Structure 1
Amino acid sequence: MDGESGIPSPVSAGGVRIPPVLLKTLVTVVVATIAYVITNLINQSQDELWQLAVSIVIGGAALIVQYMIDFERRLSSVESALVTHHRDMKNLVSEKFIQVGEVTGIFGKLDRAGLDTENVKVLLQSATEVQSQGPDIVKAFARAELARLASTMVNLTGWTTEWPGENNDWLLGLTGCAERNIDAISSSVDLAFWVTEPARRYLDAQSEAIGRGVIVRRVFIVEAAADVNSELEEICRSQERRLIRTKIVVRSELPNDLKGGPINDCVLFDGELCYELTADRTQGNPTTTLNARVPRLGERIKRFNELWDAGRDGGPGVR
């Protein structure tokens, strides 16, 4: 391709590129020579100077015509490039305006929903900084966290989402968001859990919620009366000292119509959302589900109230 005009350059039979200027010069010389020969043949009586002048004029005209043709080709090439560039820029600007419009619309929705747009800005800016200068493992982790967050938000538009295993972050976060009441069912009494660091953080979060005026109740479910030992009662008393209301339900002593109900671990927040383990921890590999759908939520609220009414006080001598 010609570096200036974008027009294919002539090549020789051997594939060697002939410079455009040299080619124009050769064409001009050839045309002038032919003109000189023709004028000499037509009128041999004219002097040599006149024949040479005519050949020069014709050769010059041929050179001008070549440059005019080349200029027109270059102009067409530039016009075509400008049209393509204009179209590309128009499409790019349109796409950017659409993206800006989408972002503006999203932030407008956030404002109308009462959400803090500043947190969204911080999230986007921080993610950009990490991707631009962080180590590869940090970049990969940041992308995975963004994808996880996006997936959770998408699922919550359907009022339910799941997590493989237990998700203590959800539990603590929801406890911090509760405004009215927290009702919990502990179906598998893992006594050792309540002296662990995660349990302490969980109970601290519930104590903070109680300080905000939230009512916290917990039902411990055991299979038989023999399982109600001093260790369990001490756990209940320690939670009662935190102003967490507790009761113990012996499953074998329940009326028949209550024995067959679900006993999965679950926590109800403000009667509007259920944090539930879909399998007992003793069975291993539970799945955490957040569910705000009315049918399931109504079932869990009804079940908790039934167990609460059927339970015995968990902290004797404390209240």
Structure 2
Amino acid sequence: MNGATTGDVRTAPPPQDERRSKLFRKTLVTVLVATGTFFLTNVLTPDAAEQWQWTMPVIVGSAVLIMQYLVDFGERLEAVEESQKRRIRGMRDSLADHHREMRSAVDESFAKINAATELFSQVDRSVLRSDGVTRLARKYTQVGEHGSEIVKRFAQEEIASLALLMESLSNGTADCPGENHEWLIDLTACTKKTLYATSTSVDRDFWSSGPGKRYLVAQGDAIRKRGVEIRRLFLVDSPDEITEALRKLCERQRRYGIDARIVDQSELDSAPVTSVNDFIIFDGELCYEIEPDVRATPTKTTLKMTADHVLERIERFDDLWEASSAE
């Protein structure tokens, strides 16, 4: 609002031509009425004094002029009142809109606060640790306040990926392109009881890589620090694949405390299940599986937690374990 809404209300002055026109009309009407009165006085009172004959036209003309200004003033007053009413209505509507906007903003803010409070209440009630979630939220806001644009975008992408992973885990399965070594090592660090794994020709080169060495170290820590039982079956399709290099790989894993064995699927009573991918069963509750393409290259990593699927993998592993040999 400006000063025009709080001070005296003034109407815009009429144009110069219009003011002149109104003044001319008032003057003309006054002259005509005074002239008419003068002639009428002379006709009706011819014997009256000359002073009276001139006084009456002046009085009547003055009255007519005053009446015209009063009518004009009344019209202007009505226009001012109407303008003031419109302005008051506009201010009332503006205040009402502002009130609605403020109320909407307050309601939205309280809704966000309630949602955040409910969210953190659920986190506190969850069996999962809540300190990590709180730390994640706090650090995410700090990145938003102080990070560069590319850092902010990167943080948003990582949060979106983490949210997608949590959503997938809540539905019982999660996957990602390629072979996710971080999942593999983190799951090993979380294992408390058993880790049963199969290994085919798809991941032979993995064991000499950096992630493969880190994976072995994580398994050794799980055995020493938490008493985890780890079994690994190296699956081959024929005796020709049982090479000296494969025997040395088994021996190396045994030095970490892993019970490593070789299974020749061609000697099994049943036909080899070539469609079974590399899989790892963590604590009998979760399966980590690798799906290769036609060139035996890992194309997707899948985490599956459904009870039926995990049980089927456990039974498959037990069958292969019974047919294994410690080369």
TM-score bracket for this pair, using the shorter chain length: 0.7 to 0.9
Query: Counterparts of 1:53 and 1:119 in 2: how far apart (Å)?
Result: 87
Match of 1:235 among 230, 241, 249: 249
Match of 2:238 among 224, 237, 252: 224
Match of 1:142 among 125, 136, 155: 155
Query: Counterparts of 2:210 and 2:170 in 1: how far apart (Å)?
Result: 33
Query: Counterparts of 1:280 and 1:249 in 2: how far apart (Å)?
Result: 22
Q: Is the 8 A contact 1:35 1:58 kept in 2?
A: no
Q: Does 1:72 align with 2:63?
A: no
Single out whichever of 125-134 and 247-256 deviates more from structure 2.
Answer: 125-134
Q: Is the 8 A contact 1:188 1:280 kept in 2?
A: no
Shift of 1:128: 3.3
Q: Is the 8 A contact 2:232 2:258 kept in 1?
A: yes
CA change 1:94–1:52 in 2 (3 A) is same
Query: Counterparts of 1:121 and 1:25 in 2: how far apart (Å)?
Result: 73
Shift of 1:294: 1.7
Query: Counterparts of 1:93 and 1:234 in 2: how far apart (Å)?
Result: 69
Match of 1:172 among 176, 185, 200: 185
- Write out aligned runs for 1:152-301 (5 A): 152-188=165-201, 190-210=203-223, 211-256=225-270, 259-260=272-273, 262-279=275-292, 283-301=296-314
Shift of 1:239: 1.5
Write out per-residue CA displacement over residues 181-207 of structure 1, whole angstroms, 9 at most, x where no aligned residue.
111110226444322211111111112
- TM-score, normalised with respect to structure 1: 0.81
What is the aligned residue count?
Answer: 299
Query: Counterparts of 1:42 and 1:112 in 2: how far apart (Å)?
Result: 96
Write out per-residue CA displacement over residues 33-86 of structure 1, whole angstroms, 9 at most, x where no aligned residue.
756665665563317776665555554444433322211111000111122222
CA change 1:80–1:269 in 2 (3 A) is same
Percent identical? 33
Aligned equivalent of 1:22: 13
Query: Counterparts of 1:280 and 1:213 in 2: how far apart (Å)?
Result: 36
Shift of 1:287: 1.1
Shift of 1:234: 2.1
Shift of 1:121: 3.2
Which amino acid letter does the alignment assign opposite residue 132 of structure 2?
A: N
Aligned equivalent of 1:302: 315
Query: Counterparts of 2:27 and 2:137 in 1: how far apart (Å)?
Result: 77
Single out whichever of 221-230 and 36-45 deviates more from structure 2.
Answer: 36-45
Write out per-residue CA displacement over residues 129-185 of structure 1, whole angstroms, 9 at most, x where no aligned residue.
434443333333222222222222222221001111111111112111112111111
Q: Is the 8 A contact 2:11 2:80 kept in 1?
A: no
RMSD: 3.2
Aligned equivalent of 2:118: 105
Write out per-residue CA displacement over residues 274-314 of structure 1, whole angstroms, 9 at most, x where no aligned residue.
00012269522421111001221111111111111111125
Aligned equivalent of 2:98: 85
Query: Counterparts of 2:15 and 2:100 in 1: how far apart (Å)?
Result: 35
Query: Counterparts of 2:189 and 2:28 in 1: how far apart (Å)?
Result: 103
Aligned equivalent of 1:12: none
Gaps of 5+ in 1: 6-18, 315-319
Which amino acid letter does the alignment assign opposite residue 148 of structure 2?
A: P
CA change 1:68–1:224 in 2 (3 A) is same
Single out whichever of 261-270 and 45-54 deviates more from structure 2.
Answer: 45-54
Aligned equivalent of 1:15: none
- TM-score, normalised with respect to structure 2: 0.79
Single out whichever of 136-145 and 71-80 deviates more from structure 2.
Answer: 136-145
Single out whichever of 37-46 and 84-93 deviates more from structure 2.
Answer: 37-46
Gaps of 5+ in 2: 35-56
CA change 1:128–1:35 in 2 (3 A) is farther
